[in-house]
């Protein structure tokens, strides 16, 4: 290399370690929770069911959280994912009941496409009507749920209505990992790779970081937003299929409140609520932490009504941590500039 | 990449009679500009001369209504910034537009990163290219750091790196030096010159003449949205450029009727707000219109806001009728007989969603209310008086203010303040965005008010307006008053000179 030298400065090195620290921190918190619960009741980890639930329980939420993270990275939010999940799960049941003998693979394709369609509605409204996603998806949250209630009424899909091999997916495993967990892992790896390595993925970060600048750069902002919402819908649809397989019973209220867990998982996992930074890996880890805490608290003898509060504290803690880190980063960058 | 320039017959950029209007307002009536390869071309003109509109058309942000646009002789029509970028046009705005969360490297390549197999971004190639880019530009910015926290100068360097990596044939810089220190300006100029030597065309917009003469080889002057003249920098002079920038006849469009000047109504002394304006002193007498001229950003509006008590100031005093006004207390200012018509009427002067009647009576609602209640009947009666005196053209007083034309909106704001029967009127850009016909009406009105003994402080960026209306002209530059000219001494050149030079008028 010839002059002038372009070296990686201390600041950058420091920032890198902070970025990685986020995922490591969640992982540590997760290990602490698991350790405590296992000490209280060894079955939490050291039983066939315990081991399986550890991975199985967070898998569906992790898939929804990945979709949510993709949307939040663009400085939007998708509050309709719980309703999309519910509607998709019910559609899964209806397909098996109404079209007897339909292959499972066909059901998966139809339901995922259906979820994508619901996401497309969100995306079109956000990208073209220029109404904040918070309002649009709050509307579709109620609208989709309303359709679900109208369609299902007091009826519900029962495990006995579903083919046995489909239900086996919900609890089965390959080698030592549950099938659902493997599906979630595949989703995670693909989404993580796309966001990191493709132009389209990087542009999602750019749009979230500064939407006005993205327009000036000439990025295809609308198309990318549309894609983000379609992806979120499709993943919620996939989660709906898995939900039906896992629980067997689907009422018109399936998935109610999941949108908040998904947003919470993303935020805990370090996805900035104002977009532009965070990873799907963080969001998935956040989902795992959230669900594991939910399961661990009763074992630790913490009363039911405290459990929600703990989750709330976790989210607030994560946001405060983000703020503190952001302020510190800004200051250290400014100081580095002064010292130039 | 191009390093030497073979003689090219075609200019890199050519605009001919490009037109753009927004509603009734013509922002650009005849934009003409020819930029050669290997040339740094200055584009100068007063505020509102249409430079920014022209740039935005070249950048693909606006679409022109009429006229021709050629790039290397090819007719082009950009529908988006992506299209102009693809054609090799790079624009660096006054405020750089970067993604704060992303690394410097990603900022340079966003949207056109080098890709390998499976369209995967080739980070190593990207990183290597950014290093060679920075080395070529002679800068040492850490390519891995986030863009957040970079100085404006460094952000501009990144914008330039973007343009170079795009292999842009045309680079437009819109007042790039406004926020830079001396050293940073030197670095920017060095880069600009080396890009010129590579055969690229550069358009350089600046208000600073010394920079134009230092850096550029050709200069095009614009005025009132139209082309005036293009000359080689070597063949022209500062005085000539200033004359071309302002050189219109002051038409009889703005007649200020002579009025007998009375006692001093508004006295401002030594007004200082650190970093904003310094030691500003002036007097406005009854029946007098005092014009406050200067370039945008000279601190004129800030002075007006401080006088009216919206913003605080550090030192000095404001007196109305000899009585000192409390700092930062607009209510006291109103009670003392001050009225303030701000620059941005949609945001600061009007309640845009309320009716005309509501708006007109807004400042006198205390006086109109009975036992704390406001009745529409009273509001309408009071509003009708003022609306008819100002000839507000609206079908009904219950029309929503936002639906009126710019001129009529301005009249409503004026009516609102006149209803308080003020003694001194401070008015910021009285005719911005108003069509010519209504302009004359607003001027007639101001002149009439002065005739009845009101004192008026008028801030205006439009020289003919200042010269036509003002009994006395104050010129501000960078927060200080650089000249005070009587009506007889004030002409375009002396005002423009004082607005752009630290020392007083040379006239």
If you write DSSP's letter for every residue of B137-193 in order, what string do you get? HT----TTSBSTT--HHHHHHHHHHHHHHTT-SEEEEESTTTT--HHHHHHHHHHHH
Whether the pTM exceeds 0.90: the reply is no
pLDDT at A1: 36
- CB B49, CB B26: distance < 8 Å: no
Please state, in angstroms and rounded to a whole number, the distance separating the CA atoms of residues B406 and B110: 40
CATH label, A26-301, candidates 1.10.3710, 1.10.3720, 1.10.3470, 2.60.40: 1.10.3470
Please state, in angstroms and rounded to a whole number, the distance separating the CA atoms of residues A42 and A279: 33
Q: Does A329 touch chain B (CB under 8 A)?
A: yes
Q: Does B181 touch chain A (CB under 8 A)?
A: no
Q: Does A214 touch chain B (CB under 8 A)?
A: yes
Please state, in angstroms and rounded to a whole number, the distance separating the CA atoms of residues A326 and A18: 10
pLDDT at B47: 65
Encoded tokens for B17 = 């009679």
Query: Percent of chain B scored above 70 by pLDDT?
Result: 90
Distance from CA of A67 to the nearest CA of B (A): 21
Query: Count of residues for chain B?
Result: 507
Alpha helices of B234-294 — where are they, by DSSP H?
Answer: 238-246
- Of residues A198, A215, A330, nearest to B120 (C-beta): A198
Q: Does B145 touch chain A (CB under 8 A)?
A: yes
Distance from CA of B268 to the nearest CA of A (A): 39
Q: Does the predicted interface ipTM exceed a cut of 0.90?
A: no
Q: Does A199 touch chain B (CB under 8 A)?
A: yes
Q: Which of residues 80-99 of B touch A (CB under 8 A)?
A: 80-86, 93, 97-99
Least confident of B108-112, B204-208, B219-223: B204-208
Count other Cβ atoms within 10 Å, centred on residue B456.
27
Q: Does B138 touch chain A (CB under 8 A)?
A: yes
What are the tens digits of pLDDT across the range B397-446?
Answer: 777 777 777 777 888 888 888 888 899 999 998 887 666 567 777 888 88
Count other Cβ atoms within 10 Å, centred on residue B369.
14
CB-CB under 8 Å, A212 with B85: no
Q: By 3-state DSSP, what share of chain A in percent is helix, strand and coil, each rounded to 5?
A: 80, 0, 20
pLDDT at A253: 92
Residue B264: which pLDDT band, with cuts at 50, 70 and 90?
very high
Place of tokens 């006295």: B267
What are the tens digits of pLDDT across the range B337-374?
Answer: 999 988 777 666 787 788 888 888 887 877 777 777 77
Given a cut of 70, is residue A311 above it in pLDDT? yes
Q: Does B369 touch chain A (CB under 8 A)?
A: no
Please state, in angstroms and rounded to a whole number, the distance separating the CA atoms of residues B126 and A280: 24
Given a cut of 60, is residue A88 above it in pLDDT? yes
Please state, in angstroms and rounded to a whole number, the distance separating the CA atoms of residues A132 and A130: 6
- CB A281, CB A188: distance < 8 Å: yes
Residue B501: which pLDDT band, with cuts at 50, 70 and 90?
confident
Residue A63: which pLDDT band, with cuts at 50, 70 and 90?
very high
User: What's the mean pLDDT when you consider all of chain B?
Assistant: 84
CB-CB under 8 Å, B142 with A12: yes
Place of tokens 């200069």: B219
Interacting residues of A19 by C-beta distance below 8 A, sequence separation 6+ = none
Q: Which of B110, B145, B139 is nearest to B126 (CA)?
A: B110
User: What's the mean pLDDT when you consider all of chain A?
Assistant: 88
Residue A222: which pLDDT band, with cuts at 50, 70 and 90?
very high
Interacting residues of B339 by C-beta distance below 8 A, sequence separation 6+ = B363, B417, B418, B420, B422, B424, B425, B426
CB-CB under 8 Å, B110 with A202: yes
Instruction: Reply yes or no: is the peptide bond before residue A4 cis, omega within 30 of 0.
Output: yes
Residue B244 three-state SS = helix
CB-CB under 8 Å, A8 with B144: yes
pLDDT at A116: 98
- The larger pLDDT score, comparing residue A93 to residue B274, is at A93
Please state, in angstroms and rounded to a whole number, the distance separating the CA atoms of residues A32 and A18: 21
Place of tokens 């009708």: B384
Encoded tokens for A268 = 């805990």
- CB B274, CB B460: distance < 8 Å: no
pLDDT at A337: 61
What are the tens digits of pLDDT across the range A238-272?
Answer: 999 999 999 999 999 999 999 999 999 999 898 98
Please state, in angstroms and rounded to a whole number, the distance separating the CA atoms of residues B145 and B130: 13
CB-CB under 8 Å, B149 with A217: no
Average pLDDT over residues A40-61: 90
Place of tokens 């082309």: B227
Q: Does an H or E element contain B222, and which?
A: strand B218-223
pLDDT at B252: 46
What are the tens digits of pLDDT across the range A131-144?
Answer: 899 999 999 999 99
Given a cut of 80, is residue A2 above it in pLDDT? no
- Of residues A6, A203, A333, nearest to B131 (C-beta): A6
Encoded tokens for B140 = 């040492």
- Of residues B112, B145, B151, nearest to A12 (C-beta): B145
Q: Does A23 touch chain B (CB under 8 A)?
A: no
Residue B310 three-state SS = coil
Please state, in angstroms and rounded to a whole number, the distance separating the CA atoms of residues B479 and A93: 73
Least confident of A11-15, B312-316, B496-500: A11-15
Please state, in angstroms and rounded to a whole number, the distance separating the CA atoms of residues A336 and A9: 9
pLDDT at B48: 67
Please state, in angstroms and rounded to a whole number, the distance separating the CA atoms of residues A177 and B348: 63
Residues of B in contact with A215 (CB under 8 A): 81
Q: Does A6 touch chain B (CB under 8 A)?
A: yes
Among chain A residues, CA nearest to B85: A218
Residue B175: which pLDDT band, with cuts at 50, 70 and 90?
confident
Residue A158: which pLDDT band, with cuts at 50, 70 and 90?
very high
- The larger pLDDT score, comparing residue B1 to residue B169, is at B169
- Of residues B99, B141, B149, nearest to A213 (C-beta): B99
Distance from CA of B145 to the nearest CA of A (A): 5
User: Could you write out the DSSP letters of every residue in A13-69?
Assistant: HHHHHHHHHHHHHHHHHHHHHHHHHHHH-GGGTSSHHHHHHHHHHHHHHHHHHHHHH
Encoded tokens for B248 = 């219109």
Please state, in angstroms and rounded to a whole number, the distance separating the CA atoms of residues A164 and A245: 9
Place of tokens 């990318």: A224
Q: Does B144 touch chain A (CB under 8 A)?
A: yes
Least confident of A43-47, A60-64, B294-298: B294-298
Given a cut of 80, is residue B60 above it in pLDDT? yes
Average pLDDT over residues B196-224: 90
Residue B505: which pLDDT band, with cuts at 50, 70 and 90?
very low
Please state, in angstroms and rounded to a whole number, the distance separating the CA atoms of residues A42 and A48: 12
pLDDT at B9: 66
Please state, in angstroms and rounded to a whole number, the distance separating the CA atoms of residues B377 and B366: 15
Given a cut of 60, is residue A339 above it in pLDDT? no
Q: Does B122 touch chain A (CB under 8 A)?
A: no
Residues of B in contact with A337 (CB under 8 A): 149-151
Given a cut of 50, is residue A40 above it in pLDDT? yes
Alpha helices of A198-340 — where are they, by DSSP H?
Answer: 199-209, 211-217, 221-247, 258-268, 280-299, 304-338
Total beta-carbon pairs less than 8 A apart between chain A and chain B: 109
Count other Cβ atoms within 10 Å, centred on residue B46.
23
Q: Max alpha carbon distance in chain A (Å)?
A: 75
Q: Which of A230, A203, A199 is nearest to B118 (CA)?
A: A199
- The larger pLDDT score, comparing residue B232 to residue B437, is at B232
- Of residues A5, A11, A330, nearest to B145 (C-beta): A11
Please state, in angstroms and rounded to a whole number, the distance separating the CA atoms of residues A4 and B427: 54
Count other Cβ atoms within 10 Å, centred on residue A308.
11
Q: Does B421 touch chain A (CB under 8 A)?
A: no
CB-CB under 8 Å, A276 with B102: yes
Q: Does A212 touch chain B (CB under 8 A)?
A: yes
Q: Does A217 touch chain B (CB under 8 A)?
A: yes
CB-CB under 8 Å, B101 with A11: no
Q: Which of B170, B184, B232, B228 is nearest to B50 (CA)?
A: B228
């Amino acid at each position: 290399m010839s002059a002038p030298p372009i070296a990686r400065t201390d600041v950058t090195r420091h920032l890198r370690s902070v970025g990685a620290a986020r995922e490591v921190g969640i992982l540590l918190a997760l290990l602490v929770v698991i350790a405590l619960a296992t000490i209280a009741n060894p079955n939490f980890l050291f039983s066939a069911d315990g081991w399986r639930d550890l991975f199985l329980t967070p898998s569906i939420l992790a898939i929804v959280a990945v979709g949510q993270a993709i949307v939040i990275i663009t400085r939007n939010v998708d509050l309709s994912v719980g309703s999309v999940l519910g509607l998709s799960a019910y559609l899964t049941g209806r397909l098996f009941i109404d079209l007897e003998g339909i292959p499972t693979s066909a059901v998966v394709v139809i339901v995922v496409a259906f979820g994508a369609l619901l996401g497309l509605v969100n995306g079109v409204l956000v990208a073209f009507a220029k109404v904040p996603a918070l309002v649009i998806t709050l509307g579709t949250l109620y609208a989709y749920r309303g359709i679900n209630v109208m369609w299902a009424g007091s009826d519900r899909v029962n495990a006995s209505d579903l083919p046995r091999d489909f239900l086996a997916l919900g609890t089965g495993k390959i080698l030592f990992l549950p099938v659902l967990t493997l599906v979630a892992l595949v989703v995670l790896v693909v989404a993580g790779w796309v966001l990191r390595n493709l132009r389209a993925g990087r542009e999602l970060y750019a749009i979230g970081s500064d939407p006005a600048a993205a327009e000036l750069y000439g990025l295809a902002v609308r198309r990318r937003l549309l894609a983000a919402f379609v992806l979120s819908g499709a993943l919620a649809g996939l989660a709906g299929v898995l939900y039906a397989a896992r629980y067997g019973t689907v009422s018109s209220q399936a998935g109610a409140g999941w949108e908040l867990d998904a947003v919470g998982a993303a935020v805990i996992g370090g996805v900035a609520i104002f977009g532009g930074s965070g990873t799907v890996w963080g969001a998935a880890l956040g989902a795992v932490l959230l669900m594991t805490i939910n399961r661990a608290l009763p074992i630790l003898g913490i009363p039911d009504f405290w459990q929600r509060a703990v989750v709330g504290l976790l989210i607030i803690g994560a946001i405060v941590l983000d703020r503190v880190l952001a302020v510190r980063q800004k200051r250290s960058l400014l100081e580095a500039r002064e010292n130039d | 990449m191009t390093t030497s320039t073979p003689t090219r017959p075609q200019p890199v950029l050519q605009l001919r009679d490009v037109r753009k209007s927004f509603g009734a307002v013509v922002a650009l009536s005849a934009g003409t500009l020819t930029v050669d390869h290997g040339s740094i071309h200055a584009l100068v003109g007063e505020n509102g001369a249409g430079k920014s509109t022209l740039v935005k058309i070249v950048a693909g942000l606006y679409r022109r209504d009429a006229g021709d646009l050629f790039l290397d002789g090819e007719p082009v029509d950009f529908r988006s910034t992506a299209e102009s970028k693809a054609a090799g046009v790079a624009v660096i705005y006054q405020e750089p537009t970067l993604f704060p969360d992303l690394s410097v490297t990603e900022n340079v390549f966003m949207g056109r990163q080098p890709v390998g197999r499976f369209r995967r971004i080739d980070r190593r190639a990207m990183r290597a290219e950014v290093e060679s880019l920075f080395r070529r530009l002679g800068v040492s910015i850490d390519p891995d750091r986030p863009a957040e926290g970079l100085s404006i100068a460094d952000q501009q360097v990144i914008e330039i790196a973007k343009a170079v990596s795009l292999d842009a044939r045309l680079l437009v810089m819109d007042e790039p030096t406004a926020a830079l220190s001396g050293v940073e300006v030197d670095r920017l100029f060095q880069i600009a010159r080396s890009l010129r030597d590579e055969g690229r065309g550069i358009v350089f917009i600046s208000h600073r003449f010394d920079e134009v003469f230092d850096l550029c080889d050709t200069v095009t002057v614009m005025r009132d949205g139209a082309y005036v003249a293009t000359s080689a920098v070597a063949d022209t002079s500062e005085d000539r450029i200033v004359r071309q920038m302002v050189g219109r006849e002051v038409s009889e469009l703005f007649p200020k009727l002579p009025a007998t000047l009375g006692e001093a109504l508004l006295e401002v002394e030594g007004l200082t707000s650190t970093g904003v304006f310094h030691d500003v002193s002036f007097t406005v007498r009854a029946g007098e219109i005092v014009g406050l001229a200067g370039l945008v950003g000279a601190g004129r509006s800030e002075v007006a806001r401080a006088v009216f008590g919206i913003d605080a100031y550090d030192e000095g005093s404001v007196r109305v009728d000899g009585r000192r006004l409390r700092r930062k207390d607009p209510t006291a200012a109103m009670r003392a007989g001050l009225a303030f018509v701000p620059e941005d009427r949609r945001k600061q002067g009007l309640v845009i969603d309320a009716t005309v009647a509501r708006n007109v009576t807004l400042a006198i609602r205390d006086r109109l209310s009975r036992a704390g209640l406001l009745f529409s009947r009273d509001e309408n009666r009071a509003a009708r008086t003022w609306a008819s005196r100002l000839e507000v053209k609206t079908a009904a007083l219950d029309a929503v203010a936002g639906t009126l034309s710019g001129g009529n909106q301005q009249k409503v704001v004026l009516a609102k303040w006149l209803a308080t029967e003020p003694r001194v009127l401070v008015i910021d850009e009285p005719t911005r965005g108003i069509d010519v016909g209504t302009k004359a009406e607003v001027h007639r009105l101001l002149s009439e008010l002065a005739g009845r003994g009101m004192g008026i402080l008028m801030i205006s960026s439009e020289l003919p307006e200042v010269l036509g209306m003002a009994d006395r002209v104050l010129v501000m530059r960078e927060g200080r008053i650089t000249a005070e000219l009587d009506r007889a001494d004030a002409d375009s050149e002396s005002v423009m000179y004082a607005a752009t030079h630290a020392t007083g008028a040379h006239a």
